[in-house]
Structure 1
Amino acid sequence: MNAVQDRRTRRRAGRYTATLASVTALGLTLGSLTGTAHAEALYADKQVVSEGHVDVFYVDVVDSAHTLVAHTAAGNVAPADLVIQAKPSVASRTVSATIAGLPGWKPQGGTYYLLPQTSQAGQVFGGFGHSPAVAQGTSVTYDLDSVEGPGSFALWQNAEDGPNVFLASAEGGPKSFTSVAAHEHVNWGFTEQGEYRLTVRAAVTPPGGATAQLPPVVYTFFVGEELPQEPTPDPGAPATQLTVTGLAAHYHAGGVAALTAVQTPPTGEEHYHWFTRAAGEAEWSVVPGALTGKYGFVVRTADDGREVKAVLYDHDHKVIAESAPVVVDVDDHGNDPVNGPTITTTLSAQEGVLAISVAPENREVDLGALTLNPAADRYTAAGALKPITVTDTRADNPGWNASGRVRAFTTADGQQLGGKYLGWTPTVLSASTAQTVTAGPQVASGFTAGNGLATWSQLGTAAAGAGRGTAQLGADLSLEAPADLAPGTYRALLILTAI
């Protein structure tokens, strides 16, 4: 047993095991300052905070004048002297249907990075407010002048009706908000790894007093596991280093892994091959079709411990650089699903159509080619699931409920299509004599509204006292994809559970 397998065995040994539920899957082809990090090179002259409480936007009174700073456990810090680090190992999150609605955000199933509004171990607990020296009842208006960075930024609080967005870098997102609170905590979210520079202004209005416009300041956030550093001359080191980014702390079966190869320094070459090998294997296997700096794939339970690496080539197919392997961690928290057939869909770059193929041994579902609808506002395709069998031999005959969901589709180069775009109409194909089985309700594609199959949807159910036996369930599938869908072969995993 290798180290990865041993780690997984020990971790899973303590998990709760359900005795009355069976789970299966159908594959579809879709520092606090006391612990301040030591900045190297690029941030050597700054305080780098990677965990603990920080009031990022903080108005204080200095020499009888209001000033905008950041406030840490050790006191005030000028924004120019501070870097707030979000480490992907603890900050990585999967975009939910709710979070996908943030301005400029990734589609459902993608990966983003979060400094949460609730205190969590190993993360920055960030907020805003003002010091006791500021008069009670003072209002502060914060304006976001600009954001420089590799992705989108948003600032929001969780609410019953969804995110209450204060600021967002994307076009059309809010760029200003006003607060009289002396202390608030919020979510700080970023869509990509890298450095973000937020230019912020504050206007302070004391009760009954005149508004003071404070000069703009720049806050720096760095999303990444290791701090950037200036290249150190080393005659024995390769001229270009290749690093794989985007690996989540762990994945669920049916989720999407979206990896990116990063060149340091850039070479201008874009000819890649990606390689994988399962835990315990000695030989690497090349990934067909993954020829760019991005590699996306649907995660299966068997991918736990799988290693992935990228290799960069020049125009003569000579190796320029090879990344260190990254290791995929699959953890369904004790409810490990059995993986089933896959669904594949392909949009031809030349013809602009999407086709869905069938794998051998009926392991895939063919929805046909995606074609533009008469209104030319979306691609559509349809097909049917192969029979899904539910067998119940429990003596107490409590009945059962079979449900399914699709997290997301992805292409080999990382293009994604949310699972909400897939809908179904379940059917009962057969049932034992003593069974009473009812098909689940129709779930429409979420192209215009709703979540489609991105959330758990009932496939079929049997009433208590009438569930023993074997039933076969099916479903007519309907896919509606945006008209600007990128060409590629999309794969996803439909997860099924029977309880």
Structure 2
Amino acid sequence: MKRLLITSLASAVGVAAVLAATGPAASAADREVVLTQGHIDLFDVTYDPAAGRLRLAVGDDTGAQKVFRDPSTVTIAVDEDLAATAVPDLPAYSFLGAPGDTVYLLPFSQNPDLPWPGWSTERLMGSLPAGTEVSTAADAVRLSVAVEGPGQVHAYQSNAFGSPINHYVDTRDAGPDTIPISRNAHVHTEWSFSALGEYTFTVTPTATTATGGTLSGDAATYHVRVGDPVVAPGLGLDVAANRPNAEYLYGQGITLTATPDAATDLDHYHWFIKGAGQTEYVVSNRSGTRELKLPTSTVWDGAQVVAKLYGHDHEVVAESEPITLAVDTLEPTTVLTAQADRAAYQIGQTAVLTSAQSPQTADDHYHWYVRKPGEEFYTWIDGTRAADATLPITADLQGAEVVVRLFDGDHAVLAESAPIVLTVGPAAAAATTTTVRLTRTSQRYGAAPGRADVAVSTASGAGAGRVSVSAGGRDLGTHALDGRGRASVALPARLAPGAHQVVARFVPADASAQAASSSAPARVTVAKARARVALRLAKPRVQAPARGRAVVRVAGVGTPTGKVRVLVDGKRVGTAALRNGRVVVRLPRLRAGRHDVRVRFAGDRHHAAAASAVRKLRVARR
């Protein structure tokens, strides 16, 4: 087989490419997804941030919603009769073959009955990482394409006069060509295949960035089949159902088993299902083995199922005849109702489910089923075989539907309840316990303070978050807990004298995981600070009738305030207010002799009362 390397090109205004190969038909076989008609971005170029490389995908626009598929899972199937076209007797089209020769054409303008493949870089810019841009040059993106197949493949466009243009690659000379693809391009061309058979394209993307760098991508393989698929002869495949004639009653499990008619070591299967009224088979994701199990549903009534056995190169080596399923229902024998024990649940709780028959029958074979949002079929709740059941509540059950079914001895449904729709909220936050322990239950104003040791715990471990601490209503700030759920907070040295309650309040880091809590108050008693009263006589000796003067200074924590009383020989002779902790008091006229002078400080809100030492004053006669 001759293998040619071609570089496929595109521009913002549209281009054509020629992909050609010669030799016998390739052995490639249909892949999981077969596209027979509709719009297809065959070469969709994006950037994969996780891999750090360009990536190719197939933009499948043939269904209700666009799907981007791995190229290795897709076959483009071209119908022989719809695509057959005679080569025109025009010199400009001689590259297609002799006039009148048959080629298989996918036109530039969409034919709704045929595939309409093109290529696109429209998603590329939006997929690039921040700070990276593809060049605005016409050759910013390039696709290197290697083609294997039984004939020549051309992709081109025609101008307004019907002549081919943008025929950038002509494989007859086997020379490599380069066709540029600009960014944000979306291109369609005419595709022409000169022979029936299987074609394989190996495509590798590259791009130039705005700074001159290069982005590369891994090669992707594409499969195009022109005409009917070729199945290797010599191996047959039978499909048997677990019920006679594949006839089922609603509730009975459907199991299909594929069996080759000769011994083989091959064991790679795919199953294809065409629903009643549908025109296309769809690959099932429920099995890759010889056995296919389908969930209970009347949707299978009239469905056709085909099994295919694949070889080591993923080619089809055997294909079964379609088997048609029939699913019927029994008339209900009772009305079955289901109830949940709560209207709403939190994650981590368990739902208690009960059911009742009306009228009551002798049948007692039950199963419970759940269908989560987005799921098509109900799934059996493991272990449920009675009229009542339990279901652990998880986050994915929000909006889920639960039903109970009553079965006969042949596992056909006799009655089915209306669904219970579950309402699920976040799990309840774990309860926490906050405690405060004081290192000292009493302290003196201004002296070294004690500490409040805080601990927060749950039933299963330590609290995580912060605690705010207050003493006597005074905010002592917010403090982070350590890994053991503990914090140690110093009480203020100048906490006001008196009795105070120390309280800690826990603020969780995640309120959905742990609940807030407050401690019981711890009591601390603060005594007043000790004051020091100093007395000095301005003159220790005066001559009558002169009066002496007492110089008083009171020291403590900060500047004491309040009043002092002056005593002479034990009797109060005057009172004066402190100013900046000092005061000078003029003594009364005293009789001649010696006198004891003393000062008493009455105390203030922070200081206890105190007295000075006795000073001697001598009063001499005149």
TM-score bracket relative to the smaller structure: 0.3 to 0.5
Q: TM-score normalised to the size of structure 2?
A: 0.29
TM-score normalised to the size of structure 1?
Answer: 0.35
